């Protein structure tokens, strides 16, 4: 059997090496258009600042090493330009010369390419770059060393854009991020992204959201924004998303769907016989919505590569889809997410409820405890978990990994308190923030508490509700809502007579914990219209 693989990085090389472990006699040929295979795209941004010091560390395996260990025929600088599914041949170009390769099985793992937005003046801009592979990185590094830029513009505030921005800033450049969406990191919800934005601005990065770059002028030295502003930039990085590399597949009659992604079945089989596809180029089933989605992440690409090798080797295997779990470090904080955001769940028309919890990375009384903001998105009727987000200097990764596992395992809200997670003071809390999300969500589902979200607050106040802040006066003095009645929680029982049981109240504190106690006191004293401001003051002041 001869297996040809197009694309020699995450999905392609996972397929090649797994297949070799399963089949010692197959002829396995990997065709890669770039000069390198098996490189660490995810590590590229960290070379910009020098955090990764050795460029060779970004190249995980060389073609020779892959031949020695796995007996793979790895052909870099080989661009496939056409596939003939009838004759089972691929053709292409290497060093200006045509080549062709027959196959019994063909695996497409061509990945995705950065979107080049049609901005006037961009083509003429000599100082504008994208970052997808090592040659892209080399171009950026050459510019940094040769032209010594001082001001950088990052267009696009997604995961890669933020990593690049952080690393350029750590290198000493003045950095501006322009994001067209209303907030950074569009897969997160607005209030969670607000914490990330604050971290960036605290580190001197200028963040402009809700604005598009409409033109580059002066050879790329100036960027015009939709609102008329002009930014001066010595170096521009474009990271406005990726699109699947599927032109060659489309020309071969392989069916594609949403945003051009290759359609595969649960065996990674495309619409053409003996042709399979994996990685950023394919449409997967979003496991929560059941809808086709492009999920451009390394973990699914690696898994899919391994699984398609299983399929070709005749092992029982199934493409089950992805939920999308991602993380990014932004200076001293981390933003992590899994599954659907609140907005995505609403767009999918799923019955949606959310809960925010402010926890700690480890026991609050143990040194170096830091805040951890968590959000859970779930079905208020069934308790099905849709997604979660976490922001904080420490521990966001651990909580989102746990929650990603619960979603993949189809656990529900009521399972979260049951999770027995590691605890000793330096590591966590006896009630881990993940357990707390479960407790809080259960309280909502049981009707013990009713939440109001930060974006509903202004309307509720306009309709006559009173905001009752139960923090202590010294906390209120440090920062407060524009208009709120302050009764510290410990005084509330004694001062109930000052309140009207028929009036609508919204209770709040710093994190929501004391507000919940206040809500329970009020409800059990006959106050029927009480809601708890989810996320409380600390969330409100982050997003306002």
Interacting residues with ligand FAD (CB under 6 A): 6-7, 9-12, 31-34, 41-42, 44-45, 79-80, 109-111, 131-133, 160, 245, 248, 279-281, 296-299, 301
Residues 341 and 140 sit within 8 Å (Cβ to Cβ): no
What gap in Å lies between CA 438 and CA 414, rounded to an integer?
A: 6
Nearer residue to ligand FAD within complex by CB, 292 or 380:
292
Say how many C-beta atoms besides its own lie within 10 A of residue 199's C-beta. 22
At closest approach, how far in Å is the CB of 84 from ligand FAD?
14
Nearer residue to ligand FAD within complex by CB, 7 or 428:
7
Torsional class of 249: left (φ above 0), alpha (ψ -120 to 50), beta (otherwise): alpha
Nearer residue to ligand FAD within complex by CB, 48 or 467:
48
At closest approach, how far in Å is the CB of 408 from ligand FAD?
16
At closest approach, how far in Å is the CB of 219 from ligand FAD?
26
Query: Which among 40, 42, 461, 504 is annotated as catalytic?
Result: 42
Nearer residue to ligand FAD within complex by CB, 61 or 280:
280
At closest approach, how far in Å is the CB of 533 from ligand FAD?
34
Q: Which residue has the tokens 């595969």?
A: 264
| Start-to-end Cα distance in the chain | 61
What gap in Å lies between CA 279 and CA 262, rounded to an integer?
A: 10
* Residues sharing a CB contact under 8 Å with residue 188, sequence separation 6 or more, in sequence order: 196, 335, 337, 341, 389
Active site residue 42: yes
Nearer residue to ligand FAD within complex by CB, 79 or 503:
79
Helix (H, G, I), strand (E, B) or coil at 230: strand
At closest approach, how far in Å is the CB of 156 from ligand FAD?
12
Nearest CA-CA partner of 449 in 492, 508, 399: 508
Task: Write phi, then psi, for 11 (nearest 5 degrees).
Answer: -70, -45
At closest approach, how far in Å is the CB of 189 from ligand FAD?
20
- Which residues does residue 192 pair with via DSSP β-bridges, in sequence order? none
At closest approach, how far in Å is the CB of 305 from ligand FAD?
7
Distances (CA, A) of 288 to 186, 308, 409: 18, 22, 12
* Residues sharing a CB contact under 8 Å with residue 524, sequence separation 6 or more, in sequence order: none
Q: Which position's Cβ is nearest ligand FAD?
A: 279
What gap in Å lies between CA 49 and CA 42, rounded to an integer?
A: 14
Assign 3-state DSSP to the chain and report helix, strand, coil percentages, each to 5.
35, 25, 40
What gap in Å lies between CA 268 and CA 277, rounded to an integer?
A: 6
Burial class of residue 193 (count of CB atoms within 10 Å of its CB; 0-12, 13-18, 19+): buried
Task: Write phi, then psi, for 253 (nearest 5 degrees).
Answer: 85, 10
Nearer residue to ligand FAD within complex by CB, 99 or 427:
99
Encoded tokens for 79 = 């661009």
At closest approach, how far in Å is the CB of 350 from ligand FAD?
25
Positions marked active-site: 42
């Amino acid at each position: 059997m001869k297996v040809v693989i197009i694309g020699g990085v995450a999905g392609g090389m996972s397929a090649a090496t797994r297949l070799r472990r399963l089949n010692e006699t197959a002829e396995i040929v990997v065709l890669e258009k770039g000069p390198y295979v098996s490189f660490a795209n995810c590590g590229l941004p960290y070379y910009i600042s020098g955090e990764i010091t050795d460029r060779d560390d970004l190249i995980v395996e060389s073609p020779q090493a892959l031949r020695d260990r796995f007996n793979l025929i790895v052909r870099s600088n080989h661009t496939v330009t056409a596939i003939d599914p009838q004759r089972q041949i691929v053709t292409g170009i290497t060093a200006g010369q045509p080549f062709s390769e027959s196959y019994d099985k063909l695996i497409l793992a061509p990945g995705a390419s950065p979107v080049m937005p049609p901005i006037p003046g961009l083509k003429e801009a000599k100082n504008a770059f994208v970052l997808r592979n090592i040659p892209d990185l080399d171009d950026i590094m050459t510019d940094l060393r040769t032209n010594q830029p001082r001001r950088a513009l990052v267009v696009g505030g997604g995961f890669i854009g933020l990593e690049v921005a952080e690393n350029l800033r750590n290198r000493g450049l003045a950095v501006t991020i322009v994001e067209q969406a209303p907030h950074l990191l569009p897969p997160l919800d607005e209030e969670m992204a607000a914490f990330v934005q604050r971290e960036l601005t605290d580190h001197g990065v200028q963040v402009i959201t809700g604005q598009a770059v409409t033109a580059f002028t002066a050879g790329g030295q100036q960027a015009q924004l939709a609102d008329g502003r002009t930014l001066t930039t010595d170096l521009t990085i474009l990271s406005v998303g990726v699109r699947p590399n599927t032109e060659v597949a489309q020309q071969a009659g392989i069916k594609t769907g949403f945003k051009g992604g290759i359609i595969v079945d649960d065996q990674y089989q495309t619409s053409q016989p003996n042709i399979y596809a994996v990685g950023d180029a394919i449409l997967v089933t979003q496991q929560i919505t059941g809808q086709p989605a492009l999920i451009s992440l390394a973990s699914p690409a690696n898994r899919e590569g391994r699984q398609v090798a299983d399929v070709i080797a005749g092992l029982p295997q199934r493409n089950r889809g992805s939920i999308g779990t991602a993380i990014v470090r932004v200076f001293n904080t981390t933003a992590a997410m899994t599954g659907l955001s609140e907005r995505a769940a609403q767009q999918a028309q799923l019955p949606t409820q959310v809960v925010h919890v402010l926890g700690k990375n480890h026991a609050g009384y143990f040194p170096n405890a830091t805040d951890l903001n968590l959000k859970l998105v779930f079905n208020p009727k069934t308790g099905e978990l849709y997604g979660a987000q976490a922001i904080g200097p420490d521990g966001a990764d651990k909580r989102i990994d746990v929650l990603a596992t619960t979603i993949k395992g189809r656990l529900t809200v009521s399972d979260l308190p049951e999770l027995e997670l590691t605890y000793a003071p330096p590591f966590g809390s006896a009630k881990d923030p993940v357990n707390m999300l479960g407790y809080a969500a259960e309280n909502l589902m049981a009707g013990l508490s009713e939440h109001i979200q930060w974006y509903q607050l202004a309307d509720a106040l306009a309709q006559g509700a009173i905001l009752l802040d139960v923090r202590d006066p010294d906390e209120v003095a440090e920062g407060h809502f524009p208009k709120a009645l302050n009764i510290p929680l410990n005084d509330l029982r004694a001062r109930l007579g000052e309140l009207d049981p028929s009036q609508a109240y919204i209770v709040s504190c710093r994190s929501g914990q004391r507000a919940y106690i206040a809500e329970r006191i009020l409800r059990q004293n006959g106050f029927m219209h009480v809601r708890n401001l989810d996320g409380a003051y600390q969330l409100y002041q982050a997003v306002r």
